[in-house]
Amino acid sequence: ELKSIITDGDIRRALLSGFGLQSSIFVIKTNKPIVASTEDSVEQIAERFNEKIRIIPVVDKQNKVVDVYFRDKRTHIAVTNPLFDEHEIELLTECIVTGWVSSAGAFVTKFESMVADYCGTKYAVSCSSATSGLHLALLAHNIGPGDEVIVPSLSFIATANAVTYTGATPVFVDSHKTTWNIDPNLIADAITPKTKAIIPVHLYGHPADMDPINEIAKKHNLLVVEDAAEAQGAKYKNRMVGSLADIAVFSYFGNKIITTGEGGMIVTDDADIAEKCRVLRDHGMSKDRRYWHEVVGYNYRLTNMQAAIGVAQMHKIDNIISRKKEIAAEYSKHLEAIPCITLPSNMNWADNVYWLYTILIDTHLVDVNVEDLMQVLKQNGVDSRPVFPPMHKQPIYDTGLTLPLCEDISQRGISLPSAPDISDDNIANICKIIIDFIETNQVASTRL
C-alpha cells in the first residue's frame, strides 16, 4: 500500500534537521503524493506532471503501486561523470560514524598504499589536488626562482601554474603531431643553463614518449615529473604510467579516471623525496615535534572522507578503464570512415586509457567550425569540450611564441562524452549528429 513518496531532497533535509541514518523513514514529513489510478488515461496522467512533479506512481483500487510514470525534459549527456555505487556510500558512512573525517584516518594510508601498489612504486603521498602535487614535487626537488622547467604548451593551465608557484619559469614546447603530447625531438632546443626539469603530460589518457625524454633528462641532469593527471592506468611499453620518471602526479578531480571529488597523489621510489612531500603537504610541521615548523609548508592534505571514496574507486578502476576502451572503440567504429575526422591515437608502444575521447576536425577538407559543432551537440542535449588552449597563448603566459602543432590541434579538437556509463546507443546517436553536421557542411562547401 502506498504511504508516501520521499525524494532524496526530503532525506537530505531530514538528516540536516537532526535525524540519523537509523531513523524511521516515516518520521520524514512529506507532501501528499500525486498519484494516478489504473483507470486514468495516459493523457490524464501527463496533465499532472510539472517542473516539480516528475514521478507519478500508478495505484490500483487497494492503493497498491502497480506502475510508475516518469517524465524528464532535462535530457543531457555529460562529457564525463563519476561512477559511484554502494561501496563509496558504505566507506563514507564509516568515516562519518567513526568521526574520522579530516586528514587523519585509516583510509588515507590505505588509499596511498593501493595507488603505490597499482603503479608499481614504493611510495605514494596523497594531496589535495594534482596541482598541489606538482607544486610539492617541484619544491621537494628544490626547484625555485631563477630555474626553468620545460612543459608542453598543450595542457591544462595547472601544469605551468605549478611551476610558477615555485618562482621558476615554465618554458613551452610544441606537440607531437600524432600523440599530441610534448614532442621529444623539440625538447633539446628548449634547454638552457637555467633548465632544471621537464614535465611531460600524458594528454587525454595517452602516454608521452618517455624513453627519449628520460634520455635527454639524463644527459642534461634534469628532473622528470610525470603529469599523469589524465592517465591513471595507462601504460608505456608495458610499464605503468606513474613509474616512468623520478616522480609522478595523478588527479582525482570529479571528471578523472577515478575520483575523490578533489584530490591528487604523488608517487615516487625515493624515500627522502616522499618524506619531503609529506612534510611540505602538512604545513611544514616537523615529524619529531608537533607544531614545530622548520620550513614553510602548505595545507595540501587529502581528507579521510575523500580517501574513503578513493579506496572504493580503486576497487573498480580496472572495470572503468576497460569500459573507457570499449567507448573509444565504439566511437571509432562509427567515425573512422569519415575523411575529415582524425581519431585519437594509440601508438604501438602505448596503452591509451582514453580519459576523454577527443577528435580533430580537418577544416581544410570540410567547411566546419568546431564551435558550431559543439553548439549543435548542445542543442541535442550532448555536452562536449574544446581542446585546451595552448598555454603559451594564455594571457598570463603570452610569450609571443608560435607553436604551430599545438595551436592547430587546439583549434580543431573536440572532446566527446566519455563517461563510463554512457550507452552504445548514445554513442551511436552522438556520432550521427556529428556525421550529419559534417555532411551538411560538405554540401554547402561544395556549392560554394
- For 398-410, how does the pLDDT look when each residue is reduced to its tens digit (9 = 90+)? 889 999 999 999 9
Q: Write down the pLDDT at residue 75.
A: 58
* Residue 437 contacts residue 429 (beta carbons within 8 Å): no
Global confidence as pTM: 0.83
Q: Write down the pLDDT at residue 92.
A: 96
Bridge partners, residue 70, by sequence: 55
Q: Write down the pLDDT at residue 175.
A: 98
Q: Write down the pLDDT at residue 447.
A: 40
Cα distance between residue 411 and residue 265, in whole Å: 31
Residues of the chain with pLDDT under 70: 42-43, 51, 70-75, 443-448
Average pLDDT of the chain is 93
* Residue 334 contacts residue 428 (beta carbons within 8 Å): yes
Among residues 310, 319, 314, 315, the alpha carbon closest in space to that of 92 is found at: 310
SS3 string of 47-72?
A: CCCCCCCCEEEEECCCCCEEEEEECC
Residues assigned a catalytic role: 256
b/e code 199-232 from CB counts within 10 Å (16+ = b): bbbbbbbbbbbbeebbebbeeeebbbbbbbbbbb
How far, CA to CA in Å, does 194 sit from each of 169, 171, 190, 197, 347? 9, 11, 10, 9, 33
How far, CA to CA in Å, does 267 sit from each of 1, 68, 201, 277, 373? 55, 49, 15, 10, 39
Q: Write down the pLDDT at residue 72.
A: 55
* Residue 38 contacts residue 59 (beta carbons within 8 Å): yes
Residues contacting 345, CB < 8 A, separation 6+: 178, 179, 180, 206, 352
Q: Write down the pLDDT at residue 51.
A: 63
Strands of the sheet with 195-198, listed across from one edge: 123-127, 264-268, 247-251, 223-227, 195-198, 148-152, 169-173
